[in-house]
Chain A
């Protein structure tokens, strides 16, 4: 114990000593030498800057601890005469760039350590990377439409969700909830009381299995949550092999078959039947400390009523859902059919828009298509940064080829 304490003290002394040295260095270099620096802004990886909306470079001279702020004025460069020295550089800004031909606005930034600025003139290229707006899991892709068999019939068991760690750290899915909304995006009713501003009304609630650290997801990496983790090509040659999915839906029904490798989701409330038209919202939810699924299904019951208008008559109806406070929601996406879409079934603070596969009901072209989040670019670690502005209309690319359909 004493030995440990002594070690710590020694370390402290060493640090203090270094500190004294650097101060000395600083005082040694108090000359008037200036360097005229031109900072060039490089394009982020896999993207091309259309326009720099705003950008600020924060410089900290390490010896004098003197701070300088340079504001971008145009021409993809910032020029300034700076005292010669060693600088830490932080860049922050907003740029526009094209994603799939559409101009997007994104936050960018970077941190560059220990840049020596010396000489009469100097040019320094500044690399920028996209900044992640969310720092957790996102639903990257939803494949809900199913496929068509060679005989032209529908096959739906190959649906899947792709969940991606859009942060810079390892995250764990253990104990998180996967929620399907109770309300449908193509059926707007005056549900009373209206709790949408504070909570999502959940129908099916599933829980990811695990004791806490059983299901880690590395930054930028994804997991597949499949309707059924088997090789669907056995039943439909136009489908895919989902044997390697990490999770699968498990409905305790009579006839269901489940894959052997994927972990079964735990059904907490109702059962998840993924609608082949979309028409629901899906959310990833992290319960706060102290909340359990047992408590959730008892304490958070939400009884509501509405008058269903049908054929010129109003039918008073009642139903129940489970309240999921908006603050628990990590990510959410509203799905619909463009022609039928009526409203979002989440609060705008969670999702302001919706995404779709088809324009109209019965579109045969929907089979084998998915919705997928736009990739903004690569971050500093070389991982894709997914667009997450809490607006599925702009965050998602509608009707794209699912990422697992590789052949």
Chain B
């Protein structure tokens, strides 16, 4: 409706209207006409401009728009007319009118309650076949987000978080999560499958990449954990890279998505971009962390068949406002073009094309006061180009065939991590060089040097999808069928981690470069079909969706377990609509929805083709005071941690939902259970290697004339075992919970709507496969590493987290002032974390010979083997519970100049209450721990 209205307001359209009116005047000019003026105003007597006033009689019909004063004038032949006044924000008004008796007429339009009800600033709970949160433009505008991550507040169980722009923002649907927390399973990279398996789709184009390999080797070695926060391999889409300004609507499918969507475990985030005419819209936001500027505009042809939308936005963030040296910048530009064409056969052909660019830069420089060399720099630079096309043909005949849609997406990323570091050896060091097994000489790096490293990744993702829709009716049952094929190709054409091997960034690293372009492409194909039947049985309605998706991973060598296998995801959703009934003169509706489904996710390139592991042992290290006589020799043993037995991660979901509607009151309850026992993670594998140790003690160091030849030296032979990481299906994430949302109507006296939303979540994490560990402590024993490795059930304790969150939102809209304000009381009623005690007893053990033997605890007593038993804390299963906390967030927006300018501000955590609690007898007072988060923005709509 808005769209049509705005079309009319455009000058060309007006000209046509005026022209047509003029023609009317001409044709009926012979009759005596009397002037009539109509003033349109609202309940409070404020003039309403641009209201459509139509006056019609049997003979003629005229139409005019009110001016700024809300007035319109006609010259009419006296007759009985029907006056109709329309405006988007007001109820339709019509009245019979005799122009003889009236010539000045005032119409008071009533603000449309419906329209007011439509001002929804929270996520609306979808009423479809699966649990979905729908976030519209208005809600986003009221929230004033910096990035997509901020929208997660609106999902049941979500809370307002200060923007965390200094690191990757992973999505954690239905998970007890704490942003930036690395404690236990929460935020732990071993439990990332849930975020890796959340699909982001923008106008049909997938955002997730299968070929992201951007990390520095410090990440793998866990050396420089400070920079790891900017790295998101195998963890899905980084939500801070998605700007919200070009988004019209977001649907977050938390439940069981249609089989059209696959290669996922947790859910789907469907983003619909703005389309169609809009005025020039500009937004400027500033808060303590960032500044954001966005501008966008929509163009549309007269008949609405051709639309162009352009948008540009820029975010400049200082993740730590007091630190000037670290920054995050994001630039997004999009062009969306769509064209509809009605064909002669009654079909509709449409084409949508999206071209977008996202550049994001994490920048860190060293503090010149600390780093006197000034050489140190760290920069993550990601450029993302996406071109997607959707071509649809829709039949408008009542035929079996309904439509066919072809989607293609090309996503090309140019990712770079640039690092420059002044390396000062903190200790005399030698380094191995060989990239193959065997005995090779290493080298001694100089005392200091400048190391430069580039991680060059060029992931290319191509997606193609064809979906056909069919429909048939059989007696009372109408059936929709959707079937299609989905194809993905992901390849990284980058050079990998490029650096001078003689000048490594980290002189302790054992990393060897590999080019990403040598890694085979990731190819998947999926076939899917969905059968949705709806039927009415008297007053009852029943909708049943049955779907299956078969997916296959290609381009794998034959020895992969997944090779040539088709994995079938069955999904079922059923909705039962009970007969509606009247309560207090309002229609009450009850829907009951049940769903069950399997969702599978293939491992990405990083998991399928991990880096080789190099074990280098010094066999000879002769560090003479004369550099000419120095020599170092290594035995390099290469281990390939590739796990060909990887299978897709499988998440089994079951959920039940109850929707109650009474007038504008809406109440939704969703109960869900999700079980995923084979998520991806790294686990310890053991390897054995041997090496020699040359003895140089018999050399007369003061009188040698050349480097010692190792062939002439006595040596001892040693065997050792060690642990390295292998990707396995060993991560269990079980989620269960209850999500709820209630929203009232807008209570007319105070123009306020009450929304209560929240969720109780319980998430359990743990490894699901046994793992090797070096027992009690990693301590060396008698000069060598502790010689035994045990096979244990647990890699880390199984942990359970629980929380109950609820948000009470009061939002008030005062049309007279065009003022909207909301107060959100965000409660976390409790948070609980509990570890299950581990079984520290190994079932098997391995010595330095690499042979696996059963472990006998009795036999081990009094020997070194006894230390394989890992002692357990007597209170290991004690739960950590933090009591209630509450934040009060205020948001306010006011429009001026007929909605041309909107000024908004927000203050999160303006008031807080954090209940104190006791830990081991010590009172923990959390008062004053959280600072309020303020910001404001101004929107222009010109």
Residues of B within 8 A of A234 (CB): 428, 447
Most buried by A among B632, B866, B882, B919: B919
Rounded to whole angstroms, the CA-CA distance of A311 and B781 in the bound complex is 35
24 intermolecular pairs with C-beta atoms under 8 Å apart: A152-B372, A153-B372, A153-B424, A156-B426, A228-B427, A234-B428, A235-B447, A235-B448, A236-B447, A252-B780, A252-B785, A255-B430, A257-B427, A257-B621, A259-B623, A266-B782, A297-B781, A303-B871, A305-B871, A305-B875, A316-B874, A317-B873, A318-B871, A320-B776
Known A252-B785, A303-B871; 15 more pairs at CB < 8 Å: A156-B427, A234-B428, A234-B447, A255-B430, A255-B507, A260-B622, A260-B623, A270-B777, A294-B782, A297-B781, A298-B862, A298-B863, A305-B873, A312-B882, A312-B926
> Shortest CB–CB separation between residue B393 and chain A, in angstroms?
58
Does A258 belong to the interface (CB within 8 Å)?
yes
Which partner residue on chain B sits nearest A229 by CB separation? B623
Rounded to whole angstroms, the CA-CA distance of A266 and B783 in the bound complex is 6
Contact across chains for A252 and B783 when beta carbons are under 8 A apart: yes
Contact across chains for B429 and A256 when beta carbons are under 8 A apart: yes
Residues of A within 8 A of B926 (CB): 312
Residues of B within 8 A of A259 (CB): 623
Residues of B within 8 A of A157 (CB): 425-428
Residues of A within 8 A of B873 (CB): 305, 316-318
Rounded to whole angstroms, the CA-CA distance of A267 and B617 in the bound complex is 17
Which residue in B428, B448, B510, B616 is a CB contact (below 8 Å) of A257?
B428
Does A76 belong to the interface (CB within 8 Å)?
no
Residues of A within 8 A of B618 (CB): 254-256
Name B's A-contacting residues (CB within 8 A).
371-373, 422, 424-432, 444, 447-448, 507-508, 510, 616-618, 621-625, 632, 696, 701, 776-777, 779-785, 833, 835, 862-864, 866-867, 870-876, 878, 880, 882, 917, 919-920, 922, 924, 926
Contact across chains for A254 and B924 when beta carbons are under 8 A apart: no
Known: A254-B617, A312-B924, A313-B833. A235 touches B425 (CB 8 A): yes
Rounded to whole angstroms, the CA-CA distance of A288 and B776 in the bound complex is 27
Residues of A within 8 A of B779 (CB): 269-270, 320
Which partner residue on chain B sits nearest A263 by CB separation? B697
> Shortest CB–CB separation between residue B289 and chain A, in angstroms?
22
Residues of B within 8 A of A312 (CB): 882, 917, 919, 924, 926
Which partner residue on chain A sits nearest B840 by CB separation? A318
A 287-328 contacts with B by CB, 8 A: 293-294, 297-298, 301, 303, 305, 307, 309, 312-320
Contact across chains for B428 and A151 when beta carbons are under 8 A apart: no
Which residue in B422, B430, B782, B871 is a CB contact (below 8 Å) of A297?
B782
Contact across chains for A314 and B871 when beta carbons are under 8 A apart: no
Contact across chains for B448 and A320 when beta carbons are under 8 A apart: no
Contact across chains for A270 and B780 when beta carbons are under 8 A apart: yes
Map CB proximity to B onto A265-280 as digits: 1 under 8 Å, 0 otherwise: 0111111000000000
Does A389 belong to the interface (CB within 8 Å)?
no
Most buried by B among A155, A228, A232, A293: A155
Residues of A within 8 A of B431 (CB): 255
Known: A257-B623, A307-B875. A313 touches B429 (CB 8 A): no
> Shortest CB–CB separation between residue A314 and chain B, in angstroms?
5
What total count of A-B pairs have CB within 8 Å?
158
Rounded to whole angstroms, the CA-CA distance of A314 and B922 in the bound complex is 11
Which partner residue on chain A sits nearest B831 by CB separation? A313
Does A243 belong to the interface (CB within 8 Å)?
yes
Residues of A within 8 A of B917 (CB): 312
> Shortest CB–CB separation between residue A320 and chain B, in angstroms?
5
> Shortest CB–CB separation between residue B742 and chain A, in angstroms?
32
> Shortest CB–CB separation between residue B707 and chain A, in angstroms?
13
Contact across chains for A320 and B429 when beta carbons are under 8 A apart: no
Contact across chains for A298 and B866 when beta carbons are under 8 A apart: yes
Which residue in B448, B780, B862, B876 is a CB contact (below 8 Å) of A269?
B780
Which partner residue on chain B sits nearest A190 by CB separation? B920
Residues of A within 8 A of B862 (CB): 298
Does A231 belong to the interface (CB within 8 Å)?
yes
Rounded to whole angstroms, the CA-CA distance of A318 and B632 in the bound complex is 40
Rounded to whole angstroms, the CA-CA distance of A268 and B864 in the bound complex is 13
Which residue in A228, A255, A268, A314 is a CB contact (below 8 Å) of B782?
A268
Residues of B within 8 A of A79 (CB): none
Residues of B within 8 A of A303 (CB): 776, 871
Rounded to whole angstroms, the CA-CA distance of A267 and B780 in the bound complex is 7
Rounded to whole angstroms, the CA-CA distance of A267 and B880 in the bound complex is 39
Residues of B within 8 A of A267 (CB): 780, 782-783
Does A154 belong to the interface (CB within 8 Å)?
yes
Known: A254-B510, A298-B863, A301-B867. A313 touches B882 (CB 8 A): yes
> Shortest CB–CB separation between residue B631 and chain A, in angstroms?
11
Does A149 belong to the interface (CB within 8 Å)?
yes
Known: A228-B427, A255-B507. A318 touches B872 (CB 8 A): yes
Contact across chains for A316 and B372 when beta carbons are under 8 A apart: no
Which partner residue on chain A sits nearest B863 by CB separation? A298
Which residue in B623, B867, B870 is a CB contact (below 8 Å) of A258?
B623
Rounded to whole angstroms, the CA-CA distance of A259 and B624 in the bound complex is 8
Does A179 belong to the interface (CB within 8 Å)?
no
> Shortest CB–CB separation between residue B302 and chain A, in angstroms?
62
> Shortest CB–CB separation between residue B614 and chain A, in angstroms?
10
Does A53 belong to the interface (CB within 8 Å)?
no
Rounded to whole angstroms, the CA-CA distance of A258 and B695 in the bound complex is 13
Does A261 belong to the interface (CB within 8 Å)?
yes
Does A41 belong to the interface (CB within 8 Å)?
no
Which residue in A151, A235, A307 is a CB contact (below 8 Å) of B372?
A151
